Amino acid sequence: MNDFSDAFATALDLMRSFDPAFIEIVALSLKVSVTAVFFAALLGLPLGALLALKKFPGRGIAVVFLNALMGLPPVVVGLVIYLMLSRAGPFGVFGLLYTPTAMIVAQTVLVLPIIAAIARQTIADLHTEYADQLKSLGAREGQMILTLLAEGRSSLLTALLAGFGRAIAEVGAVMVVGGNIDHYTRTMTTAIALETSKGNLSLAMALGMLLILLTIAVNAAAFGLRRRFSLLGGAS
Amino acid sequence: MSGALLPLRLEGLSFVAGDRLVVDHITADIAPDRITVVLGHNGAGKSMLMRLCHGLMSPTAGAIRWQGREAASLTAEDIARRQSMVFHLPVLLRRTVRQNLSFPLQLRGVTVAQRRKRVDEVIAETGLGPLADRPARALSAGEQQLAAIARAWVTRPDILFLDEPTTHLDPGAVARAEKILLGIRRAGATIMLATHDLAQARRIADQVLFLAGGRLLEDRPAKDFFTAPLTEEARRFLEGRL
Amino acid sequence: MRRWNFIAVLIAALIFLPLRVAAADLLLVSTTSTENSGLFSYLLPKFTAATGIKVHVVAVGTGQALKIGERGDADVLLVHDKPSELAFVAAGYGIDRRQVMYNDFVIVGPAADPAGVAKAASATAAFARIRAAKAPFISRGDESGTHKLEGRLWAALDLRPQSGGDGWYRSIGAGMGAALNMAAASDAYTLSDRGTWLSFQNRRNLTVLYDGDPALFNQYALILVNPARHPHVHVTEARRLMDWLISAEGQAAIASFKIGGQSLFIPNYGKETP
């Protein structure tokens, strides 16, 4: 078990030293994943609400499709975004391939189905309980959606966390569209992949431990937030 | 003030669910400024009648006609927003009681200052002061229903529908709820309340609509109904026989 | 509540503050072998200091690097598989191919050497011994330069081993580091470039069993992605990088990159292969 004690010591050293290269990698990982979750929520919450509340032909198929997309392999998403952003692809003129922006785009696509699917389920469930009451109180359709989103905030926070967890932990998509460029598109997961391929297993493992620590910290903050959220919240 | 929408005329109102006639050609006039109690057994069609009147469901046949002096000039949404309904199980938002009361005003675009003033008024009228800043969902069933009644009243509706509002409450909470309802009537609102609780009907009804099997069997002033029912079904109901 | 406001500000800052690092002036797509050895983090700061041009490096196998160049997603390539490089240039995807440095491939395997590779007279003979002993062999299987050389060695024996079947030949479809990790974990043989091998840290029982055959010579070459095909290519900066790498200064810098006192790459611009 020497490997693990080595990794542990390396992890401690990394944190103690505040190595700027290491801080840079952590900051980029957080920035890319948090931004991706932000945009995925911006698109996914209304999409989930739409699928929950609007009746249209093919809605059942759309829901099945959306739920299936939750299991999309990151590397496939990476490949699709790569082909789109490549100079030879439809969005090639923007020159976005191998930039953090490309990574954000890929992770947004990756996270969107999770957020939209959980939001849809949450809102559909709440709707059966609340619909008559909100209509009776005089809520218009838009007000109804906003109120249901606010009432479901606890479950929706879980959706955001699930999305963040998927984004921060995935390596396939960011590797393909980001290119793992030192000081530019290197995230914690691509750094772990790189150190593993260099046979530097203790450093790779140490980075892995710190990634776990980071996700625990984010989830703990959300847990505290949820306790405040579950009964209260919302402006008067 | 309730003259704006009321009186309310129900014209041959019917509702079919599957192959069952839940509401069967009901014709009646609901007069303003009084408490009309819709009385009958479970399954008599009371709930559905309330939902039809409030506009949550559309009738299979017949019509709801608001005949007040302003009703003709109001849009469908204005008419809906001058009514409130309290359901037999309250659905409060995951917010404080005060925020719940403020909510319907917020939907109507009332300014913050006016909202605060009106909510304080209603809290004082209904005696909810001690609960005002508690999370609404953490209250007891009785307290939640009182908050739901206060929330329904906060917009000063012309008419307030209540569907078995006190079925799940203990006697103390029932008494508080009825006291609040009598206050609301004094303030000039019309109340239409569905119940199978005979004692409650005797305490608060001005007018009784007696329903059985989806049909309206009696539509009479409360004191006439209770002293001299006209139909065999009503007599048996009053005597507590099934 | 103040604590939650702080968290909200932090999240907003993460989302909306721009990254400190600006986009690069130049994108160099190279092989995992050169990147993993640490060559670029040694060389490129010197180049940037001399010219002010910032370079980003994406490391993939030679096959994928050429694909990326073909699509126009790179400015310069540094790769090591002469036949496919020449085909790439001939097809008009790249121009100005320049041989810049070399190292060599080594056959590594378990120190016990069950196939007797250390006693082989040539690289192909070493491969023949591995095949005869059915000793486990890890193939990159990823169309990289290393994989292509491996294929040529088997072809010289008239062999085309397939993964699966009796299981001694395992094609993993991954980079050099992954192949070495797997060989170390399963006491298998593999073909590695010397640069990756020297900088590899998880060797366990692995050791170099055979080297020195001219057939294992590993030439690296620079290719400029054809600007006539892809007008967005940073031609000026790309040429500065190519010129610097073949200049006396650049060639000396390559020679001075050492691990454990040993040079990983030998500059040879303008010279014939040894």
Length of chain C: 274
CA distances from A99 to B82, B242, C24, C31 (A): 56, 78, 9, 19
C176–A200 C-beta distance less than 8 A: no
Measured at the alpha carbon of residue A141, what is the angle toward residues A140 and A143, in degrees to the nearest 5? 65
CA distance C152 to chain A (A): 25
Measured CA to CA, the distance from residue A223 to residue A162 in angstroms comes to: 13
pLDDT of residue A235: 37
pLDDT at A20 over 90: no
Where is C251: in which H helix or E strand?
A: helix C248-255
Task: Give the DSSP letter string of B41-98.
Answer: -TTSSHHHHHHHHHTSS--SEEEEEE-STTGGGS-HHHHHHTEEEE-SS----SSBHH
- Average pLDDT taken over every residue of chain A: 89
Q: What's the CA gap between C58 and C32, in Å, rounded?
A: 9
Between the two ends of chain C, the Cα-to-Cα distance in Å is 72
Contact between A37 and A111 (Cβ < 8 Å)? yes
Query: What per-residue confidence (pLDDT) applies to B1?
Result: 47
- The whole-number pLDDT of residue B2 equals 47
Contact between A197 and C41 using a beta-carbon 8 Å cutoff:
no
Q: Do A137 and B104 touch (CB under 8 A)?
A: yes
B touches C, CB cut-off 8 Å, minimum 3 pairs: no
User: Most A CBs within 10 Å: which of B57, B81, B97, B106, as the mutation test of the A interface?
Assistant: B106
Q: What pLDDT is attached to residue C273?
A: 61
**Cα angle, residue A92 at apex, residues C86 and A70 outer, rounded to 5°:** 110
CB contact (8 A) between residue C59 and residue A98:
no
Q: How many CB atoms lie within 10 A of CB A19?
A: 12
pLDDT score, position C142: 86
In this predicted structure, the answer to whether residue A167 has a pLDDT above a threshold of 90 is yes
Delineate the domains of chain A, giving CATH numbers in brackets. 21-200 (1.10.3720.10)
Chain A neighbors of C174, CB-CB under 8 A:
197
- By percentage, how much of chain C surpasses pLDDT 90? 67
Q: Whose CA is closest to B119, among B131, B132, B137? A: B132
The whole-angstrom separation of Cα C248 and Cα C78 is: 18
Interface of B with A (CB under 8 A): 51, 54, 56, 77, 80-81, 83-85, 87, 91, 93-96, 98-99, 102-104, 107-108, 112, 115-116, 135-138, 151, 155
Write the Ramachandran bin of C261: left for phi over 0, alpha for psi from -120 to 50, otherwise beta: left
pLDDT at A198 over 90: no
User: Are B94 and B135 spatial neighbours (Cβ–Cβ below 8 Å)?
Assistant: yes
User: In whole numbers, what is the pLDDT of chain C averaged over residues?
Assistant: 89
Q: Which residues from A are below 8 Å from B116, CB to CB? A: 236
State both tokens at C176.
């050099």
3-state percent helix, strand, coil for chain B, nearest multiple of 5:
40, 25, 30
pLDDT for the residue A236? 34
Neighboring chains of C (3 or more beta-carbon pairs < 8 A): A
Q: What is the mean pLDDT of residues C17-46?
A: 83
Whole-angstrom CA distances from B106 to A203, B103, B133 are 56, 5, 18
Give me the residue from B83, B91, B95 closest to A130, CB to CB.
B91
Q: Assess whether pLDDT exceeds 90 at residue C37.
A: no
Which of A130, A138, A232 lies nearest to residue B135, judging by beta carbons? A232
Give percent above pLDDT 70 in chain A.
Answer: 96
All residue ranges of chain B with pLDDT < 50 are 1-2
- Three-state secondary structure call for residue C89: helix
φ and ψ of C233, to 5 deg: -60, 135
What is the Cα–Cα distance from A83 to A69, expressed in whole angstroms? 19
CA distance A221 to chain B (A): 21
Contact criterion met (CB < 8 Å) for A236 and B102: yes
- Residues C58, A145: Cα–Cα separation, whole Å: 45
Rounded Cα–Cα distance for residues B234 and B23 (Å):
18
User: Directed axis angle between helix A188-197 and helix A153-169, to 10°?
Assistant: 30
Q: How many CB atoms lie within 10 A of CB B184?
A: 24
| pLDDT at residue C45 is higher than 70 | yes
Local structure of residue C23 (DSSP, 8 states): P
Q: How far apart are CA A108 and CA A98, in angstroms?
A: 16
Residue C167: Cβ-neighbour burial (10 angstroms; 0-12, 13-18, 19+): exposed
Is the sign of the CA dihedral A80, A86, A88, A93 positive or negative?
positive
Asked whether residue A177 carries a pLDDT value surpassing 60, the answer given is yes
pLDDT reported for residue B118: 96
Integer Cα distance of B105 and C78 in angstroms? 68
Chain center to CA of B218:
19
Nearest by CB to A199, from C58, C73, C201: name it.
C201
Chain A residues inside the 8 Å CB shell of C184: 199
Q: Which chain A residue is nearest to residue C197, measuring alpha carbons?
A: A198
Indicate the SS3 state at residue A215.
helix
Domains along the sequence of chain B with CATH:
2-238 (3.40.50.300)
DSSP state of C78: E
What is the per-residue pLDDT across C189-239, written as a single tens digit (0 to 9) for each?
A: 999 999 889 888 889 899 999 998 999 999 999 999 999 999 999 999 999
| C227 HSE (CA, 13 A, CB side) | 13
Q: What is the 3-state secondary structure (H, E, C) of C171-187?
A: ECCCCHHHHHHHHHHHC
Structure tokens at B51: 């939902």
Give the pLDDT confidence score for residue A231 in this predicted structure.
Answer: 63
Query: What is the ipTM metric for this complex?
Result: 0.90
Q: By CB neighbour count within 10 A (0-12 exposed, 13-18 middle, 19+ buried), where does C112 fall?
A: exposed
Q: What are phi and psi for residue C120, nearest 5 degrees?
A: -70, 150
Q: Comparing C-alpha atoms, which of B59, B133, B124 is closest to residue B95? A: B133
Distance CA(B85)–CA(B192), nearest Å, equals 9
Given a contact as 3+ CB pairs under 8 Å, which chains touch B?
A
Question: H helices of A54-152, where?
Answer: 59-69, 74-85, 100-137, 141-151
User: First CA to last CA across chain A, in angstroms?
Assistant: 56
Distance, CA of B212 to CA of B210 (rounded, Å): 7
Residue B85 backbone phi and psi in degrees, to 5:
-140, 140
Rounded Cα distance, A34 and A30, in Å: 6
Structure confidence at residue C161 (pLDDT): 85
pLDDT at C50: 92
* Window from C29-38, C50-59, C110-119 with minimum mean pLDDT: C29-38
Which amino acid, B118? R
Q: Once rounded to an integer, what is the mean pLDDT over residues C90-107?
A: 94
Contact assignment for A179 to C21 by CB distance below 8 Å: no
Residue bearing tokens 């491939």: C105
Helix (H/G/I), strand (E/B), else coil: A45: helix
How far apart (Å, rounded) are the C-alpha atoms in residues B120 and C206? 81
Instruction: Kindly tell me if the per-residue pLDDT of C1 is higher than 60.
Output: no
The DSSP string of A2-27 is: HHHHHHHHHHHHHHHHT-HHHHHHHH
Report the candidate in C58, C28, C59 with the shortest Cα–Cα distance to residue C178.
Answer: C59
Could A232 and B94 be called an inter-chain contact, meaning their C-beta atoms sit closer than 8 Å? yes
Exposure string of C207-217, with b = 16+ CB inside 10 Å and e = fewer, is ebbbeebeebe
**C85/A3 Cα distance (integer angstroms):** 41
Q: Print burial letters for C20-35: b (CB count within 10 Å at least 16), e (below 16).
A: eeeebbbbbbbbbbbb
Which domains are assigned to chain C? 2-103+219-267 (3.40.190.10), 104-216 (3.40.190.10)
Q: Are B161 and B85 in contact (CB under 8 A)?
A: yes
A20-53 helix and A59-69 helix, angle to the nearest 10 degrees: 160
Which residue reads 């810049």 in tokens? C100
